Every structure is written in C-alpha cells, then in structure tokens.
A and B are shown apart, each in its own frame.
Chain A
Amino acid sequence: MSDSAHASSQSFITKYIFSTDHKVIAKQYMFTGFFMALLGGFLAYVIRMQLTYPGESIPGYGAINFLQYNSVVTMHGTIMIFWVAMPLLLAALGNFLIPLMIGARDMAFPKLNMLSYWIFFLSVVVLIASFFVPGGAANGGWTTYPPLSSAKYSGGQWGVTLWLIAVALEFAAFLLGGINFVTTALNMRAPGMKLFDMPIMVWMQVVASVVFMLSVGPLIAGAIMLLLDRTVGTGFYDPAQGGDPMLFQHLFWFFGHPEVYVIMLPAFGALAEVLTVFSRKTIFGYKMIVYATIATGGMSFLVWAHHQFVAGIDPRLATPFSITTILISVPVAVTTFSFMATLWKGKIRFTTPMCFALGTISLFLLGGVTGIHHGAPASDMFLHDTYFVVAHFHYALIPQVFFAFFAAFYFWFPKMFGAMFNEVLGKLHFLGTFLFMNVTFLPMFVLGFMGHQRRIANPQMFDTLRNAQVEHLHFIATIGAFGLLLSQVPLLINLVVSLIKRKAPGNNPWQANTLEWTTSSPPGHGNFETQPTVYRGPYEYSVPGAAQDFIPQNVKQ
C-alpha cells in the first residue's frame, strides 16, 4: 500500500504529535481526558474526605480552608464536564468513529482537527496553571455566577480569569471539532451510504455538535462581559453600576443546559451500537431514535431557565420552562425505550461493553426520574442547592461519561489498539464501578431530603446537620468514593497488560456490521485499503435466511 508506505515515512513528530490523522487525534483527546479524569477524581477524594472528617488534614492534600474547598469543588465540576466528558465522549469517540463509520479516509478538514487538539491542550495547560497562581484556582462554582466570580468577591486573583481563558480556549477547540464532525458526516460518506444508513453514533455526534455550536456563542458573549467586569471594571453584572447578575445566569444556562445533551447524545450513540451488536437484533425504531434525537437537540434550547427557579425569575416565566423541561423527557424516553425494546428477545451476549451499556441504562433511569423533581418548581424550591441535586446530576452524568464511555472504550478497544482486552478484568472493572457508584451517590439523595446544602465545606457548622445520621451517610458515601476510585485499577491493569500482550483481535471480533469493522485493527493511514461501498443499513442482525447472523454494510449479497 502506498498509503502505509507514506505513513511510515512520516517522522515521529508528524505521526504521533502534530498528527492530522483522526485516529491519532482521537487517542490524544482520550488520553488527555483520562489524565484529567484522574485529576478530577483526586479532587472528588478531597471533597469526600473534608465532608466526612471536616477540618482534619487530608492525606495527599493537607488541611483545607473554606476558600480552598470552594476551589476544589469548582475545579472538580469544571474538569469533569469540560475536560473529561467533552474530550472523551465528543472528541475521542467522534474523531475515531465518524470517518471510520462512514467509510471516509479522514476528516473533512484534517489540519483544523489537529489545531483543535492543540488548542485543547493549551486550555489544559492554562487550567492546570490556575492551581498555582496567587489566590488559587477559580472558586466561584463551575457555573461562575457573578457576583461570586466578580473581582469584588473572588478578589483580584488570577484564578477566575484563567478559568475563563481556559474555558474559552476549550470551546474554540470544540468549535473546530464540531465543524469538522458535521461537515465530514454530511459530505464524506462512502458511496451508497444515505443519511439513514449512518450508524446512530454518527447521528448522535452530528446533532450534539450542532447543539454545541449553536449554544456556545451566548456563553462566550457572557464570559467576555464577565472578563471585562473583572479586568477593565465594566459593570455588566454589577447592580451598583446598572448591571444585572441574572443576565449571566441566562447566558450561562442557555449554553449549560444544551451542554447536558451535548454530553448525553454521544453516550446514547455508544449505547445504540453496543446494545444492538450484543443483542444480535436490528435496532428498534432507527428512524424514531433519529427524530427523537433531533427533537431533543432542538428542545434543549428551550429549557434553560429551570436552573433559575429560585434565583428570582418571574414566576410567569417559570411555568413555560417547567413545561418544556418535563416535555423534553419525552424524546429522551423514546430513545431509552427503543434501546430496551432492542434488547427484547435478543440473543444477549454479556460481554464487558454490554455490561457497561446495560449499567448505563439502569443508572441513567434513576438520574432521569429524579430530574422530574427539579423540573417542577414546586418541588425544586425545596430541593434546589441540596445534595439531592448533587445525587441527581451524578446519576445523570456518571452513567454517560463513565459507563457509556467505558462501553464504547471496551467495544472499540480492539479496533483502536489492535489488541484484545481481558474479559475478567473488564467485568471486575464493571462490577466495582457499578456497585460503588450506588454506594457513593444513593446516600446523597437522603442527605438532600434532610436539607443538606451543596457546596458547604463543613456540615457540622449547621445545627440541623450536626447529627449522627448525616455523619453516617457521609461516611458511606466516602467509602463508596474510595471504592469507585479503586475500581478503576482493573482498567489500568487491563490497558497495560493487553497492550503488552497484543492478542490480535482480527478485523471484526464482535461480528458487527458497521464499516469500521471491515478494515484492519488498527486501521492504517487512510483507513480503508479500497473505498468501501455501502449496500445496506447498519443493523442487519439475525436476518432470517442469511448465512451468518450479521451482514456488514458493505456486503452486496
């Protein structure tokens, strides 16, 4: 192959560092995401230790004061959303899978793609640097509401300013990525592949990218005004100068809530692929899932003010936003129930990716159902800013960011690295993560109902929380957090061992249909030796009368 000869003639730097190959960029995003997940996990450990043993020195961190605690909480949220969820689900999976699944040689704009990663890398550097500046990292919460984030309250310190710069860089990176994703999926499909022949994963990445691109502008506008308030001294969010702090909340959540779906849709995409392959059935309601996804994306722009029910918005505004919020669960439920119907009467194979996919659905249901409590202003008034909210969004996000990502990671691991992982270690990873996820976050629902506020550094300072039951629940949650972190050890061992052993998986270890399984593992430079042609949809499993129980998309019959 002239292409592989060309690839091997590239220097180390153009091949692995400043690479324009979407597969290398995907890995760069993935390993950066893993690294940031370790950092975010460490901060979670600090939070748990402080809440369980307030005021005591934390091994590995030392004693923590209230300002530092605010920083730790802020940075935990920021890192997990923007530097773990986004690079893993959107950038790593999207970059790796879109060209492979649609039979393209690379992205539409490979150089922009490389630029995207290096801007992202710069944002990581700026964010990590913010831990070491005078005054410490940003401490206004991951939502950086003014006045908490204004110069007056967070001081003249650098933390929030660097936070804003890092987030802006990160968004620039994902903007370039999003342009690439959508353009590639629409313009570079293999001959014969119609839009409704695209795997659900590609649809999800496209819709998520569009939602991201249309929602991020307002946050950038809001962030610029906040930056000017902090540095130049304008008064956009300062009531004393005629400004309005609520304006930032609106601009933030106009982005922030669609962002929930930006993360959720690629996770659902991974579920669609994994569940179908291991149920050996065609997906239930392909078009219905696509339409529901588009509806979810569209409606995600109409729900944002439900974050502000108690912030003093006009009650007449609360009702319509409550209705849209509860309404958006309809298309999400359509997708979730289609996944469950896909399982119905399937020949289910309980592989590691399948376990993670099933885990995602079961945990996400709890996260979704508890969302209804917040969509209704009457109950949200009481639950707002309590640990109930913390439990809710961890049940919504962890299944997506970790369970669905791990489902995808194990599923495409053979394709990505050309090596098979160890099933036993994989299952161990799943069982530990699933168990301890619940041990950590179930107690928080109870704490929330007891009136335990979020973001307080020391619950024992409050009369209502100074009792054995609160301490007990915090202790259980902390044990869970330790278990959750320890459960990731099998993953690391698995990664290292399987990369050393290099057990060749073959092109198609799961007997799957989509195009990435028709090329070598890992695919060479240019992905396909000959341009594949597509003759059928992506999910033709157990077709009666067919020789095998799967028919890849490029089989003509």
Chain B
Amino acid sequence: MTAAHQTPNRVDLPAAKPFVSSGVLGMALFIANEAMFFTALISGFLVLRAQNPSWPPADQPRLPVAVTAVNTLILLVSGWTALRALSNSKREEAPHAWDRETAGRWLGVTLVLGLTFLGVQGFEWMRLIRFGLTTTSSLYGATFYVLVGAHAAHVLGAVIALFWIRRGLLRSSVVPRNAESIKPMVMYWSFVVVVWPALYGLVYFG
C-alpha cells in the first residue's frame, strides 16, 4: 500500500462540535451579504457626490444634524441594551446564569428604543419633505432618501423580527437555559446599529 493513498486510521470520532451554532453562522453569512449591500449604496453615493460639485445644492434644505445626533445616540443605546439581553447574569447567581425574563425585558427596551429611532426619523422626513427635499427635487435628496431609507427599512424589519423573537422567547414552553436562541437576532440588531453612524457621518456631514 503506498503512502499517498493511505489515510491515517482514525478512532471513532464523536460528531464534530461545530465552531459556532448554525443560527449564528447563518446570520453571519446574511450580515455579510447585507454589508455588501450597504457598501454598494455608499460607493454609489460617493461616486455621485464626487460628480456633483455643488453638494448639497444651494436651493436644498440642510439636514437636521443635531436632532439626528440625539437619534444616533438612541440607536447606539439600543445596541447596548440588545447586548445586555445576551449576558444578564446577576452577581449573586452563578457567573453564567441566564434568565429569560430579564433578557425579555432588555429586548423590550431595545424594541422601544428602535421604534423611537424610527419615529424621530419619520418626523424629520416629514419636515424635510415640507421644506422641499424630495426624491425628485435633486440627486442630493434621492441619495439621502435611498441611503437613510434603506437603513430605516432594515431597522423596521429588525423591529418586527425582534417583536416575534421576544414573543417566542417569553412564551416558549421549554425554558431556554442560554441565550443561543436570541443570538442571531442580537447579531442582526448590532449590525443595524453599527451601520448607522457610518451612514450618519457620510450623509449628514457630506
């Protein structure tokens, strides 16, 4: 028997323990795809901005930088509360104990903060439209609504998903012993939170 054809004998192996759970891996792949989507939108924005010297055009309203700064803060806090739902062990208990009611409360706070973010943004959009910034008023308006709107649509999707995941977590007849079941959701929420400051910086200060 030549060595080239030989596979070293293996002892019976238990099923290989996955490096990460399937839910986490699947979500990571989905987030990679989403990241490429936003990268493309941002590069499109940069290309169009570079080709239009008067940016923003003189006759277009300025964007509400200050209100959105507060809104950014709200979203960042929601990212922190979402992460708290993953690790909420109380000091007096075992170091890795995880309690679904506490996690549910943190997710609830996250949900409210996410909705607040969307509400503030919707309110600002209505004002901007009244001042004359629309998708057709200028390319400046079009890129604003597409970039910020794409993000808002993702937040909205994440809010709806979060609502159902939280409901499922609290109502499940089997009490989960760890945060594994909500991990993909928190990952996605973190992604939506992390993308925002980049968009805010580019679009509002562009």
Contact surface of A with B, Cβ cutoff 8 Å: 108-109, 175, 178-180, 182-183, 186-194, 210, 213-222, 224-225, 228, 232-236, 241-244, 247, 251, 254, 282, 531, 533, 535-537, 540, 543-546, 557
Decide: A222 near B16, CB < 8 A? Known: A236-B142, A242-B139, A244-B48.
Answer: no
Smallest CB-CB separation from A241: which chain B residue? B139
A193 touches B16 (CB 8 A): yes
B7 touches A222 (CB 8 A): no
Smallest CB-CB separation from B41: which chain A residue? A221
| B2 / chain A contacts, CB cutoff of 8 Å | 544
| A109 / chain B contacts, CB cutoff of 8 Å | 22, 26
A192 touches B10 (CB 8 A): yes
Count the A-B residue pairs with Cβ separation under 8 angstroms: how many?
135
Decide: A217 near B22, CB < 8 A? Known: A236-B48, A241-B139, A545-B1.
Answer: no
Stretch at the interface among B30-38, B81-89, B118-126, B172-180: B30-38
Inter-chain CA distance A194–B51, complex, in Å, is: 51
Inter-chain CA distance A108–B24, complex, in Å, is: 12
Task: Add 16 more A-B contacts to A215-B36, A544-B1 (CB < 8 A).
Answer: A109-B22, A175-B30, A183-B22, A191-B14, A191-B16, A213-B29, A217-B33, A218-B37, A221-B38, A224-B150, A232-B135, A234-B135, A234-B136, A241-B138, A242-B139, A531-B15
The answer to whether the Cβ of B97 comes within 8 Å of any Cβ in the partner chain is no
| A535 / chain B contacts, CB cutoff of 8 Å | 7, 9-10
B51 touches A244 (CB 8 A): yes
State which of B5, B16, B25, B135 has its C-beta within 8 Å of the C-beta of A182: B25
The 9 closest A-B pairs by CB, nearest first: A217-B37, A218-B40, A217-B36, A234-B142, A221-B40, A187-B18, A536-B7, A242-B139, A108-B22
Q: How many residues of B contact A (CB 8 A)?
A: 44
The answer to whether the Cβ of B13 comes within 8 Å of any Cβ in the partner chain is yes
A179 touches B10 (CB 8 A): no
What is the predominant secondary structure among interface residues of chain B facing chain A? helix
In the complex, what's the smallest C-beta–C-beta distance from A215 to chain B, in angstroms?
7
In the complex, what's the smallest C-beta–C-beta distance from A206 to chain B, in angstroms?
11
| A244 / chain B contacts, CB cutoff of 8 Å | 47-48, 51
The answer to whether the Cβ of B92 comes within 8 Å of any Cβ in the partner chain is no
19 example contacts (A-B, Cβ-Cβ < 8 A) are as follows A108-B26, A109-B26, A175-B33, A191-B13, A193-B16, A213-B36, A214-B33, A218-B39, A221-B37, A234-B135, A236-B44, A242-B48, A242-B139, A247-B48, A254-B40, A533-B12, A535-B9, A540-B5, A557-B9
Inter-chain CA distance A175–B37, complex, in Å, is: 13
| A222 / chain B contacts, CB cutoff of 8 Å | 40, 44
State which of A189, A214, A254, A531 has its C-beta within 8 Å of the C-beta of B16: A189
The answer to whether the Cβ of B116 comes within 8 Å of any Cβ in the partner chain is no
| B146 / chain A contacts, CB cutoff of 8 Å | 224-225, 228, 234, 236
Interface residues of B in 179-203 (CB under 8 A from A): none
Inter-chain CA distance A264–B122, complex, in Å, is: 45
| B38 / chain A contacts, CB cutoff of 8 Å | 217, 221
B7 touches A537 (CB 8 A): yes
Inter-chain CA distance A213–B35, complex, in Å, is: 10
State which of B32, B40, B48, B142 has its C-beta within 8 Å of the C-beta of A251: B40
